[in-house]
């Protein structure tokens, strides 16, 4: 219980701090939100979306789940995507994975964790598609890192091929989908070199992202 009281006290302090900088901050924000970005990231507590990109409340629309999956059958993710693209009219969708992801590790090590095993079947699919590339890597750590990256690239493709994004592009919307990965050990984001701004670019951007990463490793 003490823990929770501390959180509420922190909240009062934070609210006061924000208002001391800008007395009408919350008032203005309560009227409307107009974020430019949708973030699809992992639930991992070490990857707090707003904080690592330095964005304030109101600036980032966020969807997080275990292993940053954007499955074409996940109504939750699709609803967030649809609302962000059609209603809020965000300009960028950022799929952000992270190295050391527990959901990816569970797949790599074939761990049994419970219900979440079903969820990370999506990552199993990624590993299966890219099994030759993964098998070609020297050690477990390299395979782990690479599967974290490949998972992001695959989810970018899922977002780019969703009806929501395809329809937005066909209406001429200015919308791009990006793939980034975060390093727990240094707090830095890395662009995985996949940026898709139209339906016609999806395949080439996907192939290039995979090839670029392979070349970067000299393999
Ligand atoms: Co994770």
CA of 138 to the centre of ligand 1 (A): 23
Catalytic residues: 42, 44, 46, 98, 101
Measured distance CA(57)–CA(36) in Å, rounded: 12
At residue 145, the pLDDT reads 97
- Checking if the pLDDT of 215 tops 90, the result is no
Of 199, 200, 159, nearest to 178 by C-alpha is 159
In this predicted model, what pLDDT tens digit does every residue of 45-74 receive, in sequence order? 999 999 999 999 999 999 999 999 999 999
CATH class assigned to 34-217: alpha beta
CA of 157 to the centre of ligand 1 (A): 19
At residue 214, the pLDDT reads 57
Residue 153 near residue 206 (C-beta atoms within 8 A) = yes
Share of the chain above pLDDT 70, in %: 96
- Checking if the pLDDT of 217 tops 80, the result is no
Measured distance CA(144)–CA(150) in Å, rounded: 10
Task: Residue 50: count other Cβ atoms within 10 Å of its Cβ.
Answer: 14
Tokens 């501390």, located at residue: 6
Measured distance CA(195)–CA(192) in Å, rounded: 9
- Checking if the pLDDT of 219 tops 50, the result is no
In this predicted model, what pLDDT tens digit does every residue of 117-162 receive, in sequence order? 999 999 999 999 999 999 999 899 999 999 999 999 999 999 999 9
197: helix, strand or coil: coil
Measured distance CA(91)–CA(41) in Å, rounded: 17
CA of 19 to the centre of ligand 1 (A): 33
CA of 163 to the centre of ligand 1 (A): 26
The DSSP H or E segment spanning 19 is helix 2-21
Of 214, 202, 83, 101, nearest to 154 by C-alpha is 202
At residue 216, the pLDDT reads 56
Show me where the domains of the chain are located.
Answer: 1-31, 34-217
CA of 108 to the centre of ligand 1 (A): 13
Measured distance CA(137)–CA(127) in Å, rounded: 13
Measured distance CA(74)–CA(58) in Å, rounded: 25
In this predicted model, what pLDDT tens digit does every residue of 98-116 receive, in sequence order? 999 999 999 999 999 999 9
CA of 64 to the centre of ligand 1 (A): 10
At residue 3, the pLDDT reads 83
């Amino acid at each position: 219980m003490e823990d929770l009281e501390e959180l509420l006290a922190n909240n009062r302090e934070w609210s006061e701090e924000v208002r001391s900088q800008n007395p009408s901050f919350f008032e203005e924000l309560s009227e409307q939100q107009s974020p430019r970005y949708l973030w699809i990231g992992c639930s991992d507590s070490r990857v707090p979306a707003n904080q690592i990109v330095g964005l304030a409340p109101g600036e980032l629309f966020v969807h997080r789940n275990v292993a940053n999956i954007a499955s074409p059958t996940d109504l939750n993710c699709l609803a967030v995507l649809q609302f962000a693209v059609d209603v809020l009219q965000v300009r960028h969708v950022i799929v952000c994975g992270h190295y050391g992801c527990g959901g990816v590790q569970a797949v790599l090590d074939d761990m049994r964790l419970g219900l979440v095993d079903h969820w990370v079947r999506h990552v199993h699919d990624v590993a299966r598609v890219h099994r030759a590339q993964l098998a070609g890597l020297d050690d477990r750590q390299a395979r782990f890192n690479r599967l974290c990256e490949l998972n992001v690239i695959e989810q970018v493709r899922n977002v780019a091929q969703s009806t929501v994004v395809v329809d937005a592009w066909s209406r001429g919307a200015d919308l791009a989908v990006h793939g980034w990965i975060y390093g727990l050990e240094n707090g830095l984001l890395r662009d995985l070199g996949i940026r898709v701004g139209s339906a016609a670019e999806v395949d080439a951007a996907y192939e290039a992202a995979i090839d670029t990463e392979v070349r970067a490793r000299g393999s």
